[in-house]
Structure 1
């Protein structure tokens, strides 16, 4: 036994000596590496023999070696810090998972308690429970909101009759006020139905100047009115301070019907921001001014405007998606939007079956900026809208004092219809547009599309009726609706094709005739 112990002691001692040698060797190695005195001694012994070039090389070598060691030191520090952060992240994730598990257990416990409370309430009001399902007691007339049995129409409960929930409660406060106003207080105005489109534009320009100190080029007004004829969605875009917001606002003043302004917020994600929503807790519908204006437009024959200010500060395809689809339907009788899923007996008159009919006498005008705080407007939106560029401030001018006018939607629509018949796009220009379409498809793989051609056929006649020129109207639609699509192409590789397109348009439509389009194409060539 003693021999074994002596052997084991010697065996372990020799092994530990090995570890000692490793530690000692590492420490001696570091001491050797950072033995500055030895380096100085060696340098002094050789420096006496250095030439000028040797001195320079020696200094450079010392700097490089020091830099390498400093770099290694920082890399080691960085690796240690990264490892510590990684470990901290793992620990945090583990704590988070543990908290989630705890919350799940609490939720399950609360759900169980809720089911038990619900079962107790159901038992109190005469419902039988079994296997988790509820069955109506045949002796119960109806169920009141408080959970007690009701007493017919005098109670505060609800009973369904032919799909309508009978109740004394009101969930639409603002819309019911609109109903009350138009039923008991509203008197239709005396409309001026003798005005022409050209007078309509000229008078607005003079009104904005004389009454509001706002100055617009007559062409801008013509484009706006022509845009109203081609679509219900108009996008005013351009630099700040050019009158994007004031244009629809002043149009409302000119018509004697104030424009409703909805300031778009970055958080808007769905249609509830515009049309509101039903609050299940308060049992009230959160109504917006946008909803109120759309609803009220169904009662009158006015020309109504809703301004979506800074419309692309949120994604238009999210909060305006359903309206984009509805406004594309060819039959205006189908312009309906689901507001609520059920029908109450006290709901507003113009929301039958929980659906709101979108009237035709209202336009949605959006202002858009192109900067880092906004989203790019997609082709889906541009194709359904009429963009109008406001890139310069209006020049101040003198105008005669002009009062506002009262024009009905019916008369304005009749003026549009008259313009469609009186000033259709000429067959010659239609042929040129078709040939241009084929050229663009072949060279640039971009098609005009039936929707844009239809909008052009509505836009141009009204633009002419407002006092504009047919080619100018065609030019504007091409620049804002067709050539705008080129921005999504690899224009750096298409500079020659753009130059050919400019030559083709000058040859086809006449040199200098398509000024707006050619200026836009030239700008694209310079950008890329």
Structure 2
């Protein structure tokens, strides 16, 4: 026992001594690196410089500057990495704290509801009634209210009924003038001139060509970019151009589900609290022209939460199935365009979302990006001295025919399809990212319409490639894929030429510099 105690005490002392020696050596290493060695380096330089010539001094100065620059760069990088790590850690901590607070609030809410139910049960018991009987009476009262509402002929949809009365149950027809029956290229030119001359808003022909091609590709469009580049004003100007003002719906940060977007049925009043968004969707069913709903600042809330049903419904190949449930049952007094409690999303309606990338917004996920057309607007268009140009009257059917005609007249060439296939194989093998059927379908639709608007096929392909494929690279660890990016850029040069695919190359260069 005594011998073991001596051994253990010696062991602990030796261990503590080694630990102390470890930290002492670390401290000495830091002292040598930052103080003693620096002094020695300076002394060595002074001793050696006694025999320096002019050329030696020049070389010494250059080398010294390079070394100092390298050390400064290294320190800055370490500082940036530490800063990013601290920010990331802080955000994660804040998220955990927020989730914990939400959990506590949910628990307190459940406790309050339970306490309220107990109090109600006690009051009901004091009145000589059983709680079960009280609940039955309450449900019977609800049913009687609903029956009374039907007997009075009152609709639970006030705003939608007003739309019925406004249109008197008739779908409006669009009568186009001969001068309005123009092609896509003339349509782009006419809008650019109209916007500049009538509204004082300036857009490049490429942006407007991409906008129309985006309309042909998807019913959802996202306009991204810095403030002041005309994201909201573009669909607004389109509404003015087509003689049907675009509806603007401001997305709120608190939006969590579909009720924020569509409204909800008040179980107490038996009335449906309709949103303006629902009214605009409903009204589009009465029209044959082109309709836009602008979701302004759409990523202030999570798009895949409040817009989830629309993302799914608009993916269905059969537009007859584009129906969203508003209420679970149908009443005789419901609006005309509701069938079985469901509302049809008409084909002449587009949802245009504007989005910023800053700390106040949520990241737009691939689920949303893949289903939408995307245009980045980071540069203001230059002033255009446009001639006075009138607006246009055009039906959705005519515009859709223009899109279909473009797809038939300007299909992707075999050379382009082969190049796409080679790109797909390379990207899949090197980056584990693939085009997919949805993206290929969008490219086959977008590029022909883009060409019909007066642009080039390779330019349209570059536009889609940058936004649909390269954008996905942001989720990859590109610091280990620098060589692969260079190989991809070389492959694009070989297939399309060094002057082509400028947007994609510029995007890749930005990604390379950020890692």
Shifted more, 351-360 versus 168-177: the winner is: 168-177
> Does 2:175 match 1:190?
yes
Q: Report the Cα distance in structure 1 between the residues aligned to 2:190 and 2:509, rounded to whole angstroms.
A: 35
Which residue, out of 110, 133, 158, partners 2:120? 110
Cα displacement (A) at 1:197: 0.8
RMSD: 2.9
| Separation (CA, whole Å) in 2 of partners of 1:374 and 1:454 | 30
Match of 1:157 in 2: 148
Contact 1:338/1:354, CA 8 A, preserved across alignment: yes
Instruction: Mark the CA change 1:383 to 1:345 in structure 2 (over 3 Å): closer, same or farther.
Output: same
Whether the 8 Å CA contact 2:174–2:394 is kept in 1: the answer is no
1:435 equivalent in structure 2? 422
SS of corresponding position for 1:157 = helix
CA shift, 1:418, in A, is: 0.5
Give the superposition deviation at 1:428: 1.0
Aligned twin of 1:426: 413
Aligned pairs for 1:426-505 (under 5 A) are: 426-505=413-492
Cα shift at 1:190: 2.3
- 1:286 paired with 2:311, answer no
Higher helix share: 2
State the shift of 1:121 in Å: 12
Shift of 1:360: 0.7
1:100-499 equivalences in 2 (<5 Å): 104-105=114-115, 107-114=117-124, 144-145=144-145, 157=148, 168-183=153-168, 188-192=173-177, 194-499=181-486
Give the Å deviation of 1:98.
11
CA–CA distance in structure 2, aligned partners of residues 311 and 114 of structure 1: 47
CA contact (8 A) 1:170 1:347 kept: yes
Structure 1 contact 166–344 (Cα < 8 Å) conserved: no
Structure 2 distance, partners of 1:189, 1:222, is: 24
TM-score by length of 1: 0.72
Is the CA contact 1:443–1:497 (under 8 Å) kept in the aligned structure 2? yes
Gaps in structure 2 of 5+ consecutive residues: 1-106
Measured in 2, the distance between the counterparts of 1:384 and 1:99 equals 37
2:47 equivalent in structure 1: none
Contact 2:220 2:371 in 1 (8 A): yes
Distance in 1 between the 2:432 and 2:444 partners? 23
SS in structure 1 at match of 2:293 = strand
- Sort the Cα spacing of 1:474 and 1:100 in 2 relative to 1 into closer, same or farther, 3 A: closer
Q: What residue is the counterpart of 1:151 in the other structure? A: none
User: Whose Rg is larger?
Assistant: 1
Would you say the 8 A contact 2:192–2:205 is kept in 1?
Answer: yes
- Given the superposition, is the C-alpha separation of residues 111 and 359 from structure 1 closer, same or farther in structure 2, using an over 3 Å criterion? farther
Q: Separation in 1 of the partners of 2:144 and 2:109?
A: 40
For 2:161 and 2:111, locate their aligned partners in 1 and report how far apart those are by CA, in whole Å. 48
- Cα distance between partner residues in 1 of 2:445 and 2:493: 24
What CA distance in whole angstroms lies between the structure 2 residues aligned with 1:259 and 1:425? 33
Counterparts in 2 of 1:517 and 1:180: CA distance versus 1, 3 Å? same
Distance across 2 between alignment mates of 1:341 and 1:399? 52
| Contact 2:403/2:449, CA 8 A, preserved across alignment | yes
Partner of residue 499 from structure 2, selected from 506, 512, 517: 512
